[in-house]
């Protein structure tokens, strides 16, 4: 055996030179068995996407083509006459300025819609986990969102009267829902009912199916814009399209695209649609689908979750419309 043998050394417990390394204990299960430490999954690496490369290059080529075409146009105008060139340059500058303003408005509308989702998620977390900070943040944001709205000034005043009351943050959030959302929910129901009524009537009386498709699509997009604006979103074109995609995803996930057979048979079997024509029945079905899209959009645009107030249902929104129409007959 080679090497020098070290003599044993005595250390004191408070010796500054003494360092003790401890190993992390492995967790034990209820029966006392040692549970192995969880494995850390490797980080997901971003894969190369040929599709992204294709669309990026196509977009770059289109941008270069448009830029060259505009440059050639301005040069041709200057070649013909100087004032034509300056007029074309001024029009091009105005078009670029309008494009920048439109892009800014679209980005602002997307930010507003994202803000509504942020408030709702904070409120849901606060109510689910009884988190005071999340509830206070949601109440503060919802009051700031509607601070300049005259149609909700009465509800804001009622809510302000309880500022000095001793109240848990979740209860204050529920009070905000009761005071601020009740009137907006009723207005949203009216918007959905009116849109469903217009879609059903136009589909029933219009003989051209192509016009039906265009009208129904335009009516649904307009309804989505009105609902988002009602709750404080004010979406632009991109915001409305994005909201429509979210609504379709929401309906697909919740199974909302399928309307109950009993409810349809109740309307078509003993109502005007079942007695007059299949075209009128098609109008009723289109109206029902429009109302279902509106109910899903209401749930997505609402900045506070349904906790105190009753969640609107399809029967509650359109039941009165068709029942009233049947009663008038």
More confident residue, 22 or 56: 56
What integer pLDDT is reported at residue 261 of this predicted model? Answer: 44
pLDDT bucket at 244, cuts 50 / 70 / 90: confident
Pair 192, 294: CB distance under 8 Å? yes
What average pLDDT score do residues 85-107 get? 91
pLDDT score, position 98:
93
pLDDT of residue 312 exceeding 60, the answer is yes
Residue 15 has pLDDT above 80, yes or no: no
- pLDDT score at 191: 92
pLDDT digit string (tens) for 148-193?
Answer: 888 888 988 988 888 888 888 889 999 999 999 999 999 999 999 8
As a whole number, the mean pLDDT across the chain is 78
Q: What pLDDT, on a 0 to 100 scale, did the predictor assign at position 257?
A: 46
Residue 249 has pLDDT above 80, yes or no: no
pLDDT, tens digit, for every residue of 252-267?
Answer: 655 544 444 445 544 5
**Which of 239 and 254 is assigned the larger pLDDT?**
239
């Amino acid at each position: 055996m080679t090497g020098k043998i070290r003599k044993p050394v005595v250390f004191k417990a408070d010796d500054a030179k003494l360092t003790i390394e401890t190993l992390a204990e492995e967790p034990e299960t209820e029966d006392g068995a040692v549970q192995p430490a969880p494995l850390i999954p490797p980080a997901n690496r971003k894969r190369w996407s040929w599709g992204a490369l294709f669309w990026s290059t196509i977009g770059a080529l289109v941008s270069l083509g448009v830029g060259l075409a505009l440059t050639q146009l301005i040069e041709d105008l200057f070649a013909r006459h100087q004032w034509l060139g300056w007029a074309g340059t001024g029009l091009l500058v105005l078009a670029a300025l309008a494009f920048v303003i439109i892009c800014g408005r679209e980005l602002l509308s997307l930010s507003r819609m994202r803000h509504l989702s942020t408030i709702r998620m904070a409120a849901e977390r606060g109510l689910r986990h009884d988190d005071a900070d999340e509830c206070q943040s949601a109440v503060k944001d919802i009051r700031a969102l509607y601070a300049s709205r005259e149609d909700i000034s009465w509800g804001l005043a009622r809510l302000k009267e309880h500022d000095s009351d001793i109240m848990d943050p979740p209860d204050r959030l529920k009070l905000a829902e009761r005071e601020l959302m009740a009137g907006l929910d009723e207005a949203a129901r009216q918007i959905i009912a009116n849109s469903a009524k217009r879609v059903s009537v136009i589909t029933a009386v219009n003989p051209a199916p192509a016009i039906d498709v265009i009208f129904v699509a335009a009516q649904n997009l307009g309804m989505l814009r009105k609902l988002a604006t009602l709750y404080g979103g004010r979406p632009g074109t991109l915001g409305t399209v994005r909201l429509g995609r979210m609504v379709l995803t929401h309906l697909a996930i919740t199974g909302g695209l399928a309307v109950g057979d009993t409810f349809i048979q109740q309307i078509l079997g003993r109502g005007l649609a079942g007695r007059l024509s299949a075209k009128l029945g098609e109008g009723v079905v289109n109206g029902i689908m429009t109302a279902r899209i509106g109910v899903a959009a209401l749930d997505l645009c609402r900045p506070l979750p349904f906790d105190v107030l009753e969640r609107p249902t399809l029967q509650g929104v359109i039941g009165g419309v068709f029942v009233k129409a049947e009663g008038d007959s």
